[in-house]
Structure 1
Amino acid sequence: MNIIISNNSGKPIYEQIAMQIKNMIIRGDLAPGELLPSMRFLAKELRISVITTKRAYSDLERDGFIETVTGKGSFVANKNMAFIREEQLRLAEECLQKAVEIAKSSDITYEELTEIIEVLYKGE
């Protein structure tokens, strides 16, 4: 599993791990029922605390992306991928709604806002 941790990111390490695993599941890189690395193995590979990987896995389980079976490990949940994508779209819409409200109240034009989104999305 190829997870990259950035020390320059403003996000905690457990969030970075959880987000990358979520993205792998949504893209189909990790299939439903697929076994994830153990928390200890992942912690060792990433050179981080087991507590950090435990937090990432707990968040993923809470959000329905993985299921943990005691003594067997953590597996990608057999959740409907269309449903997961719809949830992610809803979250994106909520964030964009806030951005639109801020833009309107700050006299930021539609063109300026779309330019900001394009730059952020493309990482330029």
Structure 2
Amino acid sequence: MKIHLYKEDKDPFYLQIVKQIKSQILDHSLLAGDCLPSMRMLASDLRISVITTKRAYEELEKEGFIVTVLGKGTFITEKTVNVISDEHQREFNKAIDEILLHGKALQYSMDDIVEKIKKRGK
């Protein structure tokens, strides 16, 4: 498992961890049954507080992505890729909605917005 934290990211560290673990589940880098590092080990590797990793793991567990077995470790659950994919689709749609809202506020037409997106995508 690879996690990279960025101070300049708008998301707090715990949320960056959550998003990156979900992404690695989606791209099959992490599979059901895989063991995650302990909260202390991850905190040490990332040079952050254990409280931060604890919050990330709690969030992932609350959402059903991981499960902690006392004395054994923390594992990726059997949550299906479809559920994760649906969540990514919701996040993507939210980003599109924000782009449209900002574009309309700046009085861009739909064609202008689409053209700007196309230019950025090249």
Mark yes or no: TM-score above 0.5.
yes
TM bucket (normalised to shorter chain) is 0.7 to 0.9
1:18-40 deviation per Cα after TM superposition (whole angstroms, max 9, x unaligned): 11111111111000111101101
TM-score scaled by structure 1?
0.84
Number of residues of Structure 1 aligned to a counterpart in Structure 2: 121
One-letter code of the match for 1:28?
H
SS of the residue 2:32 aligns to: coil
Greater mean deviation of Cα atoms: 109-118 or 16-25: 109-118
Greater mean deviation of Cα atoms: 35-44 or 61-70: 61-70
Runs of 5+ consecutive residues of structure 2 not aligned to the other structure: none
RMSD in angstroms over aligned alpha carbons? 2.1
The residue aligned with 1:40 is 40
The residue aligned with 1:82 is 82
CA distance in 1, matches of 2:25, 2:72: 20
The residue aligned with 1:21 is 21
CA distance in 2, matches of 1:18, 1:49: 15
TM-score scaled by structure 2?
0.85
* Cα offset, 1:81, TM superposition: 0.6
1:33-72 map, 5 Å: 33-72=33-72
